[in-house]
Chains A and B, each alone.
Chain A
């Protein structure tokens, strides 16, 4: 069975009409993993019960009770808990940690009869944009193995484009679903904050984190989103989403052209972005030039709020009840050794940075100021969404970079310039593949990002499907 370009939607038909069995489908994914995982480093672990899971799914299909995702093989980011399976967040500190419960999203996928293939690589605790911060080596881009697959959900995006899974779950704190989706030429959805339960997702920035799907098509992302969304009593910030803008005709798309004038955006990205705008115009969408006065400060706001939240969320990894423990002469030394050796350099850096911006002398000028700015940016988006139905930007300022190319932390952070805003505002955003650029004889994917107002994922799906001709 060749699964090249097979979507979840098509697989559903093939499974339900018995043209393929759940086992055959799972086996073809396993074969592709076998063929390319050594080279690409996508899966940290492939579960040994995949075929048993497929048999269970087949029983549901045979009984005529299959649901949208019954028998669909998915890859799961290594920071989402599946009971009884290891979950390390690509960190040495949790290298041998076994999840003691199911994340709510996993529970929902289990009810559907999904096949969990295994856990995929990421930047340690989701901190990074390239998986170069993984404690278990970088995931390579299937389009050019000398380049990164993006991150932090780089394993999730690479698994989908390398045909190792039909879809994947990632998590997005500042672009961690959208940026790798863009680098790998697939679709990545960051849902509205709170629309998907965070219970069982390892916390990074709790006011920013959300779980989202990575898939080949917009329709597939919509299918997974509809399964995993919903209010959950285990996550008090979760909400039921209500589309307030249904059936709008003549969608207006706003483009904040002014943000493209800043430095550091590659010419290839600008050209591709302009082509994408023309394509959207040809499809009948009205394009409107909009101003978002403080959007260029989003990245600065993000790199204060996020490390602040990181520094408190990471406090739980202390070597006492679970995870790595390094022994010392007293308890304080146990803490310091465990955290010093267990966390990688980027995690240590962000904890220390967060400790700084929250410390009493600097709180007002950094964290306090950032929270006030967050409110302003949020208000600017609210008024933008009164004029337009969606806001369009590139997903990332450049295509996938060469492994090891970016030297300083700040250089890495600048990759998030277009994506962090949606997390600061809490609104939904999607990255759509928008073509390729040829560099060093290799085709590298590019992506565009659409944002819409809270709970209006349906607008993103509708525009996205037209853009990708689904």
Chain B
């Protein structure tokens, strides 16, 4: 069974605070799910190589790095969504010691 420590480690990596009760219930739920999805090990592995794409005709689509949006075009709407601000600045916790 997946350990408590392992669940806590995963939650930490995912930056999610979870309670001890949730750690416990996730152990059972994750085990059941992992056991179910584990059946894919019964599919034989194909040879790797050509045509490893999922979406038909999948290619990288790039664009020229030109014509940037004019500064300020969307500022008003974006600033309005800030959870915390001072004037037009986004306010966050101090990062550097």
Contact = CB atoms under 8 A, between A and B. Distances in A.
Given A336-B16, A351-B14, A321 B82 contact: yes
Interface in A359-418: 359, 365-366, 369-376, 378, 408-410, 413
Q: Name the prevailing secondary structure of the A interface residues.
A: helix
A14 B30 CA distance: 54
Given A83-B77, A322-B82, A352-B14, 12 more contacts: A100-B81, A237-B61, A239-B57, A320-B83, A321-B82, A322-B81, A325-B84, A331-B95, A332-B15, A349-B30, A353-B33, A365-B41
Contact of B32 (A325, A335, A340, A410): A410
B77 to A, nearest CB: 4
Contact of A236 (B51, B61, B83, B93): B61
B52 to A, nearest CB: 7
Contacts of A299: 36
Contacts of A373: 40, 43
Interface in B29-52: 29-30, 32-34, 36-43, 45-46, 48, 51-52
Interface of B: 7, 10-18, 22, 26, 29-30, 32-34, 36-43, 45-46, 48, 51-52, 54-57, 61, 63, 74, 77-78, 80-84, 90, 92-93, 95
Contacts of A370: 37, 40
B75 to A, nearest CB: 10
A334 B93 contact: yes
10 contacts: A297-B42, A303-B37, A304-B37, A323-B83, A340-B18, A349-B29, A349-B30, A370-B40, A376-B43, A426-B56
B54 A375 contact: yes
Contacts of A311: 14
Nearest to B23: A352
Contacts of A359: 10, 13
A207 B55 CA distance: 8
A100 B17 CA distance: 29
A100 B74 contact: yes
Contacts of B48: 372
Contact of B92 (A320, A323, A366, A369): A320
Contacts of A301: 37, 40
Nearest to B53: A375
A300 interface: yes
